[in-house]
Structures are given as structure tokens and as C-alpha cells.
Amino acid sequence: MKRPFGVSVVAVLMCIGAALLALGSLAFFMLGAVAVTEGAHGPLAQLYLGVGALGAGIFLVRAVANATVAIYMLRLVYWARLAAIAFTALGLLFAVIGILASLPHPAIMVVAWQVFVIAIDVWILWYLMRPHVKDAFAAPRQHPDARIEAQK
């Protein structure tokens, strides 16, 4: 079974997203570390420490989930396509919320980035719903011994 080229593109985009989420996790860890190393023991330092740890944990879990789905997308595992659709739809929802939240005082670069993200998310959802992509993910379920090759 040949893997459609677009599936590889989606998997690479998910890996890039996982790397960015991992960097975000590191940034949250650093926020918590700054609160602790500054020697402040007040409630604000505790808040930063808590927010840093919580944000870091959430971003790290999302990074691992994205990387895992990307790997299984390359293997054409059926649930990975469904998970990618769910993650992308959720990202699309948050991008739209981000634009709506910035409407009172929109920053042009933030809105431009969100529009770019929305365009990519819409393309991914459209692509993953295509019949030949659905068939590619269904084929390994029907023929478990089939070997997957990248399409050239």
C-alpha cells in the first residue's frame, strides 16, 4: 500500500507542531524556574510556579500526543487519522476563538498568524476527509500484512 504524499505532509506538520509545543513547555518550565530562583516567597511567586508547572505539563502532553499521532499517521493506522482530525478541529476552534478574542483591539500580526493557522487547519481537515485518504487508512485494517510505502 502506498502512503499518499499529503499524509506525509500532515505528519510533518504535526511533528513541527509537537516541537513548538515542546518549546512552549520549556518556556513554561522556565517561567516557574524564574519564580523560584528569584527568591520571592510571596503569593505571586507561588502563582507563577503553579502556572509554569501546569502550562508546562499541558504543553508537554500535547507535544507527546502530536508526535505519537504523527508517527502512527505515517504507518496509516486508522485511529491516527481520526485523532488528527480531532486535534486539527480543536486547533481550528481555538484559532477562531483567538481571532474573536482579539477583535476589540486586534494586533495585525496575531490575526494574520491565526488566519494562516486556520487556512492550514482547513486544508488538513479537507485532505483527511478525501476518499483516497480514507481508503489508505482503511487498507491496513483490511490487509494487516500489507507493507506501507511512501508514494513517489
Q: Give the pLDDT confidence of 24-45 residue by residue, as tens digits.
A: 888 888 876 665 555 556 666 6
pLDDT category, 133, cuts 50, 70, 90? very high
pLDDT tens-place string over residues 54-80: 888 888 999 999 999 999 999 999 999
Those residues with Cβ within 8 angstroms of residue 44's Cβ, 6 or more apart along the chain or in another chain: 35
Taking all residues of the chain, what is their mean pLDDT, rounded to a whole number?
A: 85
CA–CA gap between residue 65 and residue 67 (Å, rounded) = 6
